Amino acid sequence: MRLMIVGQLESKISEAGKIALKRGAKIIHCEDKGQALGALRMGKGADVVLMDVKQDIKGFIEALDAERIHIPVVACGIGTDTASAVNAIKAGAKEYIPLPPDEELIAAVFEAISEESNDMIAGDPAMQAVIKLADQIAPSEATVLITGESGTGKEVMSRYIHKKSKRKDGPFIALNCAAIPENLLESELFGHEKGAFTGAVARRVGKFEEATGGTLLLDEVSEMHPLLQAKLLRAIQERVIDRVGGKEPVKIDVRILATSNRNLEETVKKGDFREDLYFRLNVVNIRLPSLRERPSDIGRLAQFFIDKYAEVNGVPKKKLSLAAEEKIKSYGWRGNIRELENTMHRAILISVEAEVEPEAIHLNEAMEVSKPTVATNNASNDTSGGAVGSTVADVERNLILNTLDHCLGNRTHAAKILGISIRTLRNKLNQYEGEGVKIPASQG
């Protein structure tokens, strides 16, 4: 993760940077809004901006929007100044972090906004074949299309290929095509010239130029608008790009990797994706197997996540019991490795035995594959808190409250497990409390 800190580097905000640095982040420091915007325009990119509330957060975010720079901003300030926090969120900040920093809170916020993992566990024969192919093609300049279900680790594989390539000392720039609004994506990819549109007050370098000498990952490329697909095709074929509003083509030197969780051949047949672009991207195809197809990796991955979240949350490390391992191996894992990670995070928090016991592993029983399930209309058998006849709001409320209860009232843990921001969780709990619902209290 690349973190930009904006503000006077006093001891408290400096501590936040040190925490991020310890977790593998690359840090760039800017004194103020102007310096930060200048660095971003020149291609000194960041995945997250951590900005002091004393700075002009509203003006900074408005400038980012005007110049079509898509980057999340997290505000920070001394103590729990409610007014400053509220103003920062109203200005467009994704989160507010009180200083001095809590290591666990900072880790949760950064992971939720910009999750990055380079770990590769691949002992199963199905994955060994994939790794062998990746090792073969990594040193080449070939464009690679990485496909597979959501949660199978496509970005992790992309980073693996980059680290094995001749470009390993160059930058690795990832762009999620599905997460960026269509009107921002062109400028994000190709950059723009001064005056190209209202708000373009200076030249801005895009991801293609930012990745010069390295690798550009186009994550979920199948979600790209057809008009942009044509520009991407030209960039791949001719190794030049046109900045928005530019008059001269700009030469590029990047290796392109792309991912998709869709069947691109079917998408091409439907006319939603250009056939010529598909063939340009699909020089080498690496298909990542689902977790169901690599059963001998499930136990090792589960133990890896147990160890990881025991350390993050400051609880004793435990082994996964044999009974618990059998339980997770009989499950369908529709969400693949991402679902397994969340499940193990929850398990280490609520486990009460010397080893992680089966009861600490909460699964959707409908996804168990080792034995048939019996349909029932008895709402009391629904362990997820939902039942036929319940509203979506009821199911959501029960899920949030049950997760918070399992986390002993710890909101940071609950937000990470639920995959939502701390602010969203806080707003939901305030809503429920206003409706007279009892909220699980923190037990430590």
Range scoring the smallest mean pLDDT among 5-14, 122-131, 141-150: 5-14
Mapped onto helix, strand or coil, the DSSP state of residue 164 is coil
CA distances from 30 to 9, 114, 230, 337 (A): 9, 20, 36, 36
Whether residue 146 contacts residue 156, with contact meaning beta carbons closer than 8 Å, is answered with no
Spatial distance between the Cα atoms of 410 and 127, rounded to a whole number of angstroms: 36
Selection from 13, 231, 190 nearest residue 106 by Cα? 13
Range scoring the smallest mean pLDDT among 244-253, 329-338, 384-393, 419-428: 384-393
pLDDT of residue 112: 61
pLDDT of residue 182: 80
Average pLDDT over residues 3-11: 82
Average pLDDT over residues 23-35: 86
Average pLDDT over residues 280-303: 96
Give the confidence band of 88 by pLDDT, cuts at 50, 70, 90: confident
Percent of the chain at pLDDT above 70? 89
Percent of the chain at pLDDT above 90? 51
Whether residue 350 contacts residue 318, with contact meaning beta carbons closer than 8 Å, is answered with no
- The answer, yes or no, to whether residue 371 has pLDDT greater than 50, is no
pLDDT of residue 380: 36
Average pLDDT over residues 283-291: 96
- Cα dihedral sign, 76-179-165-147: positive
pLDDT of residue 442: 65
- The answer, yes or no, to whether residue 200 has pLDDT greater than 50, is yes
Average pLDDT over residues 386-397: 64
Average pLDDT over residues 182-186: 85
Same fold yes or no, 125-289 and 291-373 = no
Mapped onto helix, strand or coil, the DSSP state of residue 24 is coil
Q: What is the CA radius of gyration of the chain?
A: 23
pLDDT of residue 387: 45
- Cα dihedral sign, 261-233-156-419: negative
- The answer, yes or no, to whether residue 378 has pLDDT greater than 70, is no
Average pLDDT over residues 168-179: 91
Give the confidence band of 111 by pLDDT, cuts at 50, 70, 90: low
Spatial distance between the Cα atoms of 137 and 132, rounded to a whole number of angstroms: 9
- The answer, yes or no, to whether residue 80 has pLDDT greater than 70, is no
pLDDT of residue 230: 94
Domain boundaries, the chain: 2-113, 125-289, 291-373, 380-444
Across the chain, mean pLDDT equals 85
The token pair that represents 162 in the structure block: 């980059």
- The answer, yes or no, to whether residue 406 has pLDDT greater than 80, is no
Give the confidence band of 382 by pLDDT, cuts at 50, 70, 90: very low
- The answer, yes or no, to whether residue 218 has pLDDT greater than 50, is yes
Residue with the larger pLDDT of the pair 394 and 237: 237
pLDDT of residue 293: 95
Spatial distance between the Cα atoms of 327 and 329, rounded to a whole number of angstroms: 5
Sheet with 172-176, side-by-side order of all strands: 172-176, 215-219, 255-260, 144-147, 284-287
The pLDDT tens digits for 36-72 are: 999 998 878 788 899 998 899 999 999 998 888 888 8
Range scoring the smallest mean pLDDT among 158-167, 175-184, 229-238, 313-322: 175-184
What architecture is the 380-444 domain classified under in CATH?
Answer: Orthogonal Bundle (1.10)
- Cα dihedral sign, 219-220-221-226: negative
- The answer, yes or no, to whether residue 386 has pLDDT greater than 70, is no
Residue with the larger pLDDT of the pair 323 and 77: 323
Spatial distance between the Cα atoms of 102 and 420, rounded to a whole number of angstroms: 19
CA angle 285/291/292 to nearest 5° reads 110
The CATH superfamily of 2-113 is: Response regulator (3.40.50.2300)
Residue type at 259 in one-letter notation: T
Average pLDDT over residues 296-319: 92
Q: Look at the domain 125-289 and name its fold.
A: Rossmann fold (3.40.50)
Domain 291-373 has CATH 1.10.8.60: yes
Give the confidence band of 294 by pLDDT, cuts at 50, 70, 90: very high
Half-sphere exposure of 10 (CA within 13 A, CB side): 12
The token pair that represents 116 in the structure block: 């990055």
Collect all residues with Cβ–Cβ distance below 8 Å to 191 and sequence separation of at least 6: 203, 204, 205, 206, 208, 209, 241, 243, 244, 250
Q: What is the full DSSP assignment across 29-84?
A: EESSHHHHHHHHHTT---SEEEEETTS-HHHHHHHHHHTT----EEEEEES--HHH
Buried b (16+ CB within 10 A) or exposed e, 373-399: eeeeeeeeeeeebbbeeeeeeeeebbe
Q: Would you mind telling me the total number of residues written for the chain in this entry? A: 444
Average pLDDT over residues 194-213: 90
Spatial distance between the Cα atoms of 297 and 337, rounded to a whole number of angstroms: 10
Residue with the larger pLDDT of the pair 388 and 92: 92
The token pair that represents 2 in the structure block: 């690349």
The pLDDT tens digits for 338-357 are: 999 999 999 999 999 999 99
Spatial distance between the Cα atoms of 157 and 220, rounded to a whole number of angstroms: 14
pLDDT of residue 434: 77
Residue with the larger pLDDT of the pair 171 and 11: 171
CA distances from 389 to 365, 382, 392 (A): 19, 12, 10
What 8-state DSSP symbol labels residue 382? -
Residue with the larger pLDDT of the pair 398 and 58: 58
